[in-house]
Structure 1
Amino acid sequence: MTYQTLNISIVGALATVTLDRPDVRNAFNETTIAELARAFTELGRYATVHAIVLAAHGPAFCAGADLNWMKKMAGYTHAENQADALHLAQMLRTIYLCPKPVVAKVQGDCYGGGMGLVAACDIVVAAEEVNFCLSEVKLGLIPATISPYVIKAMGENAARRYFLTAERFSAQEGHRIGLVHELVKADALDAKVAEIVEALCHNSPHAVQLAKVLVRDMAGQPVSDALLLDSAERIALIRASEQGREGVASFLEKRKPDWLGS
């Protein structure tokens, strides 16, 4: 896989997707959007990849939209603007629906659309010095395409404040409102991400994939008879699956499951 704006590495069961435009604070343009969509689509199909880390090169994680791209958008027709925004929305959905667990490693400030990238990931680890900002209304815009993921991540109440005020907020505040799962010192960021990746890769890849779907499908649902049947059907199917049988057998036999190798 060759990319202009990303760096992709695969080591063992871990793939790392690194935003690699440090000269523009990893702001994204149409090329970055297309490449992120392609990278997560392709990595999602790799049987040997069990987890993906989304990282960034340089002092900033992502400054949102690239200024030159924004200048170009100023001359777009309504139809062109809609098509352009849809590409961004589809890219974020590709990350969100990726069958592999995705960990965001946020080493620097994250603004605007960059927060959509973070919120679309499953687990977010941030350095204590990081600042976040949903800055769109300062520019006369709204965070529309990123809103489904940001609202899920930080909750409606916090989103209402930060969508409207465009205040910059700290990683500590991001942790308090639920956007950030783990908050660490900058020099401990790599170690914490590695710890989480190790936990992910220790588990059944099939079960992790279905657990990710389970959270999406169950969140916000009423506990109805239909939901009970659905949950019972899911556990019945995975108990009979190859990895389900192997996982239980390896536990009872006090040995490693075969997905961990010999």
Structure 2
Amino acid sequence: MNLATLKVSVDAHVATVTLNRPEVRNAFNETVIEELTGAFRALATNVDVRVIVLAAEGAAFCAGADLNWMQKMAGYSEAENRADAMTLAVMLSTIYRCPKPVIARVQGDAYAGGVGLAAVADMVVAVDTAHFCLSEAKLGLMPATIGPYVIRALGESASRRYFLTAERFTATTAQRHGLVHEVVSAAALDSTVQALAKALVDNSPNAVKEGKRLVQDFASRDIDDDAIADTAERIAKIRASDEGREGVRSFLEKRAPSWREAS
């Protein structure tokens, strides 16, 4: 990939996508959005990749919208703003719907769209010095495109507070509400991310993909007769799959499954 705002690497089935604009606190602009969308689409179909780590260079994880980009948007018509907003919405959906598990490595502050980037990840590991802020209301805006993901991750009650007050809150507060999974020291950040990545790589790639889809599909779905039938259909399919059969066989034969031997 020939990228201007990101760095992408793959090692031992783990891809790392790194925001690389530390001079502007890794803020979004059109190029960042386009490159993140393209990188995640490419990695989604890369059979060698089982896990994606979303990281950033510098002191901040992501400060939200780039000031120059915001200045351009200020002169847009409503139709132009709608088209521009859709590119961000598509990027967020691409990361959220990526079939590979995504770990956000939050090494510094996340503001506005940066909170959205954390929210679309499956797991978030943050340093204990990081702060989060949904700052849009201070600018006469609202966190609309990131909203569905932040509300799912942070919860309805906390979202009402932080969407409206635009307060900064700590990584520990973010963890208490469910946005962050692990809060660690800077010294422990990489080892914690690596441990999560290894746990994911050790598991069946198909089971991880289908498990992620199961959570997304059922997070807010009613448990009605159709849902019950859907779950039965899903477990039947995965039991009959190659990896499902291999996993059970390897357990009974007391050996490592083929995907772990290959890793």
TM-score where L is the length of structure 1: 0.99
- Cα distance between partner residues in 2 of 1:217 and 1:43: 22
Q: Which amino acid aligns with 1:258?
A: S
Q: Which amino acid aligns with 1:35?
A: E
Question: Number of matched residues?
Answer: 262
- Residue aligned with 1:61, SS: strand
Aligned counterpart, 2:37: 37
Q: Deviations over 1:80-113 (max 9, x none)?
A: 1000000000000000000100000000000011
Q: Deviations over 1:13-65 (max 9, x none)?
A: 00000000000000010000000000000000001100000000001000000
Aligned counterpart, 1:244: 244
Aligned counterpart, 1:110: 110
Q: Which amino acid aligns with 2:111?
A: Y
Q: Deviations over 1:139-183 (max 9, x none)?
A: 011000000100000011000000000000000100111100011
Q: Which amino acid aligns with 2:85?
A: A
Counting aligned pairs with the same residue, the percent is: 61
Aligned counterpart, 1:20: 20
- Residue aligned with 1:85, SS: helix
Q: Which amino acid aligns with 1:259?
A: W
Aligned counterpart, 2:153: 153
- Cα distance between partner residues in 1 of 2:224 and 2:79: 42
Instruction: Kindly indicate whether residue 227 of structure 2 is the aligned counterpart of residue 227 of structure 1.
Output: yes
- Cα distance between partner residues in 2 of 1:76 and 1:214: 39
Q: Deviations over 1:217-245 (max 9, x none)?
A: 11122222211111111000000000000
- Cα distance between partner residues in 1 of 2:165 and 2:9: 38
- Cα distance between partner residues in 1 of 2:182 and 2:172: 10
Aligned counterpart, 1:141: 141
- Cα distance between partner residues in 2 of 1:134 and 1:4: 27
- Residue aligned with 2:7, SS: strand
Q: 1:137, CA displacement in angstroms?
A: 0.4
Q: 1:77, CA displacement in angstroms?
A: 1.2
Aligned counterpart, 1:173: 173
Q: 1:207, CA displacement in angstroms?
A: 0.6
- Cα distance between partner residues in 2 of 1:48 and 1:31: 26
Aligned counterpart, 1:66: 66
Aligned counterpart, 2:132: 132
Compute the RMSD of aligned alpha carbons: 0.7
Q: 1:186, CA displacement in angstroms?
A: 1.0
Q: Which amino acid aligns with 1:217?
A: D
- Residue aligned with 1:15, SS: strand
Alignment of 1:92-103 (within 5 A): 92-103=92-103
Q: 1:261, CA displacement in angstroms?
A: 2.4
User: Which runs of 5 or more residues in structure 1 are unaligned?
Assistant: none
- Cα distance between partner residues in 2 of 1:255 and 1:96: 34
Q: Which amino acid aligns with 2:158?
A: A
